[in-house]
Amino acid sequence: MKAPDFRYERPASLSEALALLAEEDATPIAGGQSLMPMMNFRMAAPALLVDLNGLADLAGITAADGWLTIGAMTRYAALEGSAQVMEGVPLMARALPHIAHPAIRTRGTLGGSLALADPAAEMPAVLLALGGEVVVEGPGGPRTIAADDWATGLYETARAPGELVTAIRVPLAAPGQRFGFHELARRHGDYALAGVCIAATGDAVRVAFFAISDRPVRAPGAEAALATGDIDAAVAALADLPIDGDLHAGPDTKRHLAGVALRRAWAEATS
């Protein structure tokens, strides 16, 4: 199938893009790696596509005050090739190769991933584990939303209609901070069946799972247990974590896979 008819605009500035997005049934398109298939399958039928690829200011990586600010239109491939990401945000660098395949990472954008909020996506969970932020801008100006408050449901976020994701902010790794990542998928590049990101500083541990709920979720019981280094107690604490099944696996299988992923990610973080 092919997409239904739509109007297409390619604004050259953020203000122009926001004005277009105020029109009825307007949708931004970034890398198009999720939106175009959805349109071709007629799961999405926007009247107006607002192409963000002309907004050069929305791409790029800058470091300041202990944070890395990544423009929403920055491609996964650019992040993979960035020394700033490799050195400053090793958890993100670790997770990036697990997103789909190189062709998709060449076009797909970090902002697109955060805006789409697929519960099985790696980057929203990375941001949650790191305690990052999403910057959005709409007619009312810019605002910053903590990663803990970003995903509000299945493919739903705190972004208001008419707002664009403009940047993602992540704290640079602190000296001695440790990270772990593991995902279980049927084949490398497939969406995860279950996955987890860990960021540990001293006895402060943040754990963010993906592909086990309608959104990326932290695991407070596991975090408390890992703060004392007790991985068995951390895995046991997953019994209290609400876990949803999906097309690929039921809740019990997901809970088991989440435990396996947690053990492997913790082994990586402590090795």
Ligand X SMILES: Cc1cc2nc3c(=O)[nH]c(=O)nc-3n(C[C@H](O)[C@H](O)[C@H](O)COP(=O)(O)OP(=O)(O)OC[C@H]3O[C@@H](n4cnc5c(N)ncnc54)[C@H](O)[C@@H]3O)c2cc1C
Contact set with ligand X (CB under 6 A):
27-35, 37, 52, 72, 99-100, 104, 108-109, 111-113, 115-116, 118, 121-123, 164-165, 191
CB 185 within 8 A of CB 152: no
Give min distance, CB of 33 to ligand X, in A.
3
Q: How far is the CB of 248 from ligand X (least distance, A)?
A: 13
Q: Smallest distance from the beta carbon of 204 to ligand X, in angstroms? A: 26
Cβ distance to ligand X smaller for residue 118 or 223: 118
The least distance separating ligand X from the CB of residue 78, rounded to whole angstroms, comes to 12
Amino acid at 235: V
Q: Which helix (H) or strand (E) holds 114?
A: helix 110-116
> What's the chain's Rg over C-alpha atoms?
18
Question: For residue 72, what are the CA distances in angstroms to 166, 251, 264?
Answer: 5, 33, 31
Nearer to ligand X, 125 or 226 (CB): 125
**Smallest distance from the beta carbon of 114 to ligand X, in angstroms?**
8
Residues facing 69 on adjacent strands: 62, 169
Task: Give just the sign of the alpha carbon dihedral 236, 237, 242, 248.
Answer: negative
Closest CB to ligand X among 176 and 187?
187
Closest-approach residue to ligand X (CB): 112
Identity of the amino acid at 141? G
Cβ proximity to ligand X, 161 vs 242, nearer residue: 161
| HSE-up (13 A, CA, CB side) for residue 111 | 27
Give the span between the Cα atoms of 12 and 205, in whole angstroms: 42
Quick one: 133 or 223, whose CB is closer to ligand X?
133
